[in-house]
Copies of this chain bind each other. A is one copy, B any other.
Amino acid sequence: MTQVKTAITPTRQENFPEWYQSVVREGQLAENSDVRGCMIILPQGLSLWENIKTYLNLHFKRTNHKNAYFPLLIPKSYLEEEAAHVDGFAKECAVVTHTKLGLNSDGELVPQGKLEEPYIIRPTSETIIGHSFAKWIQSYRDLPVLINQWANVMRWEMRTRIFLRTSEFLWQEGHTAHATREEAVKETKLILDIYSKMASDILALAPFIGSKTEDEKFPGAEITYCLEAMMQDGKALQAGTSHYLGQNFAKAQKIKFVDEQGEHQLAHTTSWGVTTRLIGALIMTHADDNGLIIPPRVAEYHAMIIPIFRNDEEKAAVMKVANELKDSLFEKMFFNNPIAAEIDESALRGGEKFWRAVKKGYPFIIELGPKDIEKNQICLIKRNQENLKDKAFMKIDTFIEMASDELTTMQQDIYQKAVNFRETHTFEMTSKNKFVEFFKKDKKGFISCFAHENLPDEIKSLLKELKVTARCIPLASEEERGTCLFTQKENAKKMIFAKAY
């Protein structure tokens, strides 16, 4: 067999983590910076986040949520009010201690103007938004309060990986307060539903939707709903969470109201968020050994047009048609947006342009040369097709007419492929030995089995050793009960286990 050359080295098979870094680099999504653990999000990467933001804003606003913006800095005292935050975020936060830099006697710039009380850069805005809620909410008439914030946050991570775990990242954080448990749980599920639709409809991810076990849920939460997506190496990536916090945070933050009967009550609160990590999920779900594959609904540009010519005369003729094609596509709609095409006018050769477009994941790659324009045709390569060397020729008018439908089909195909991958790599299991063997041998995928939430310490140790966690109790099989794989006791719930990012 001859070796097939791929645009990305190493391949997924050879070294998945390095393949991931190469895809990010060649796809021009992001770069590392000189700031510890912080990335530079390049235009191609940021456009994905902007499209996620547009989709979520539409659905958050449709369901009466309001965007607001709270300070970047959190007073140290706020953090101290919340025991869970002291335990968690205090260990990895950026601390602001001074108000200026000034020259010392050696002529060096050093911190000066020490603050009486340090601030930390928000690792989450939970506490500062909680303080506002306590001030805003007096009566049941003030409820519900439904706030969302788009912001940057910081948590100093020891080991970082671009998009997946960075010290600074972008996210949205929703915080809501309600009069009753029922309403707050309904809100938590409503958001889970918006996240699920976002994941499947635009990102073409096929996550398990479920709730976290007691051990795995967010500290302080009564219920944590989550999306657990399967990456192509079989590991799980948590792609969004929605928490019902009960009255726990309201108690710590004094979020109280007078109810219809005139009684003082604590509010029921929720919080929920997704981050730029979703871009990592997108890459590790869809990209292949030739680079990015961007589902059309989240792509900024749907097509890259590559003009081919040997001289100025040919160039003029080809560019004219290329621009007309771009304009005609822009008059056609794909969902809420015009079909956007770019023309690669760079000085690269045709083949280089083609592989650059492949690595950047454009849904359509269109080659257009002098012979094509004579025949009123284009040469179309779909980024998700089996073999990128298969070129399809078609009349320009036909292509323009069918472009939107083709993108819809491509979106569905990419999604279906993710569903199939998840289904063929999720294994029902009833034997503990096989469970252990599966993960010891680094087999690819998730295990679905019955298990109890409170497992004995020896089982917890075993899972820790295997680096495996209970990812979720899927909502789809929430009611099923069976014999626990680990303890053989009855009445255990159906759970998904996996190694995770």
- A-side residues, CB < 8 A to B, are 31, 33-35, 38-43, 46-47, 50, 66-76, 78-80, 86, 90-102, 109, 111, 118-121, 128, 131-132, 141, 147, 151-152, 154, 156, 168, 170, 346-347
Contact = CB atoms under 8 A, between A and B. Distances in A.
B101 A35 contact: no
A35 B73 contact: yes
3 interchain residue pairs of minimum CB distance: A43-B66, A38-B71, A95-B98
A128 B31 CA distance: 13
Among A41, A78, A95: residue with most chain B CB under 10 A: A95
A404 B247 CA distance: 46
Given A71-B38, A72-B152, A347 B141 contact: yes
Among A50, A78, A92, A99: residue with most chain B CB under 10 A: A99
A34 B121 contact: no
Given A35-B71, A46-B69, A97-B97, 12 more contacts: A34-B78, A35-B75, A43-B66, A50-B67, A71-B168, A72-B72, A73-B94, A73-B168, A91-B100, A94-B119, A95-B97, A101-B118
A394 to B, nearest CB: 30
Contacts of A75: 34-35
A427 B79 CA distance: 55
A28 to B, nearest CB: 10
Given A33-B128, A118-B111, A38 B72 contact: yes
Contact of A101 (B46, B72, B73, B76): B76
Given A42-B68, A69-B170, A109-B79, A90 B101 contact: yes
A151 B168 CA distance: 13
Contacts of A91: 100-102
Contact of A46 (B46, B68, B71, B98): B68
Chain copies in the assembly?
2
A17 to B, nearest CB: 23
Given A39-B71, A68-B40, A99 B92 contact: yes
13 contacts: A34-B131, A42-B68, A43-B67, A72-B152, A72-B154, A79-B109, A86-B109, A90-B102, A92-B99, A94-B119, A95-B111, A101-B118, A101-B120
A76 B41 contact: no
A69 B40 contact: yes
Given A33-B128, A93-B101, A109-B79, A72 B141 contact: no
A95 B100 contact: yes
Given A39-B71, A70-B33, A109-B80, A95 B101 contact: yes
A171 B97 CA distance: 24
Contacts of A347: 141
Nearest to A158: B99
Nearest to A166: B71
B99 A40 contact: no
A52 to B, nearest CB: 14
A187 B346 CA distance: 21
A108 to B, nearest CB: 9
A450 B2 CA distance: 80
A96 B99 contact: no
A94 B96 contact: yes
Contact of A119 (B35, B99, B100): B35
A79 B118 CA distance: 22
A377 B325 CA distance: 50
Nearest to A346: B141
Contacts of A90: 100-102, 109
B46 A121 contact: no
Among A79, A90, A147: residue with most chain B CB under 10 A: A90
A92 B69 CA distance: 22
A24 B402 CA distance: 52
A467 to B, nearest CB: 25
Nearest to A96: B94
Contacts of A168: 71-73
